[in-house]
Amino acid sequence: MNRGIHHLRGICAIIVYLGHVLGMMPNIIFEKTQPTIWHILYDGQCAVYVFFAITGFFLYSENAISVKSYLCGLAKKSKKILPPHIVVLIFALICCNLHIEYNHELFTDWSNHFWVNDVGYVEFFKQALILPPHDPDLLNPPTWYLISLAKALIILPWLIMFLNRTTWYLLFIVLIFPLFYEFAIITSLLPFLIASCMRKNLMLISRILDKTKVQYLLFCLSLFLLNIRNEFNGIENFYYTLSQSFGASCIVTICYYRNSYIKNRILDWLGDISYPFYLVHFVLLLALKPFVDDIVMLFIMSLLLSLTMAHILHYYIFKQ
């Protein structure tokens, strides 16, 4: 286990949580920091780009894959991804369809547009299987991440093998093509692809990262690129996606290179439970709305319950 990456997972999960809890109710922290650079401390979108880059970084392999090894790899990853996702989705389905009344005036318009309508079993099964067309906002909005993840796990191993057998210079064509024609699948794979490319060239990159000052300088530049859409109030397009993908991939590469030999039990634990925590926190934020009347109470209750449920899911129910 690379402890640097493991800690990064836990930190990113907390960043996603902070963005969602601060967006639930009007509060001075969000109002004062949202237009500033400090917004990155709770920008869930930036954190998810890092998650994508971590996946792409570790999907890279120099070995050729067979159909058998590919299917075994998919089965292994599905066994890790799907069970916690489905359990949390069942909990979300029950809570959503209960329609417990709460004071809408205490919450933001963004918060109030979730769990408005009943969700049927057909929609539930679509969301549980991830790939069929569905609207994640109906039950557990953060699971949009799983759609891009699933596509990457299916496509990327073959694309990496193709680039290994030909040349990785073809990646430049992949990056240039969307400049002339918007191709959604290429755009969605960018953070995975760029991170895989950095893993392939890790030995070369290591020479650049050999000096600590260079690491810090590159890390700061990477944070700027990761946050570039907020800095320039940009809408989602290929240029911003490319910049954020490069920034996220650099952050992952630096953390992997540095590794963390410091045994921090809290960060180790957060890294362990980062995936179930990511899945469960938003459902709990929505479920707790009838029982809270201020942001502090929502923060404390949702954080404690999310950490507890994530711990139980990880260590006891699925024993991962």
pLDDT at 188: 85
Q: Are 268 and 6 in contact (CB under 8 A)?
A: yes
- What does the pLDDT look like over 196-207, one tens digit per residue? 999 999 998 988
Q: Is 299's pLDDT higher than 90?
A: yes
pLDDT at 182: 67
pLDDT at 175: 74
Length of the chain: 320
Q: Is 263's pLDDT higher than 80?
A: no
Q: Which of 317, 284, 239 has its CA nearest to residue 95?
A: 284
Which has the higher per-residue pLDDT, 143 or 262? 143
Residue with tokens 């938003």: 282
Which residues neighbour 210 within 8 Å (Cβ) at sequence distance 6 or greater?
none
Q: Of 44-53, 60-69, 73-82, which gets the smallest average pLDDT?
A: 60-69
Handedness of CA 211, 216, 222, 224 (dihedral sign): negative
- What does the pLDDT look like over 104-123, one tens digit per residue? 999 999 999 999 999 999 99
**DSSP string covering 186-231, please?**
HHHHHHHHHHHHHHHTHHHHHHHTTSHHHHHHHHHHHHHHHTHHHH
Q: Is 186's pLDDT higher than 80?
A: no
Q: Of 24-28, 36-40, 138-142, 236-240, which gets the smallest average pLDDT?
A: 236-240
Total-model pTM: 0.93
- What does the pLDDT look like over 266-282, one tens digit per residue? 999 999 999 999 999 99
pLDDT at 320: 58
Q: Is 222's pLDDT higher than 60?
A: yes
Half-sphere exposure of 137 (CA within 13 A, CB side): 7
Distance CA 68, CA 310 (A): 32
pLDDT at 54: 97
Average pLDDT over every residue of 84-103: 94
Give 176's pLDDT tier (boundaries 50, 70, 90). Answer: confident
Q: Of 97-106, 123-132, 180-189, 252-261, which gets the smallest average pLDDT?
A: 180-189
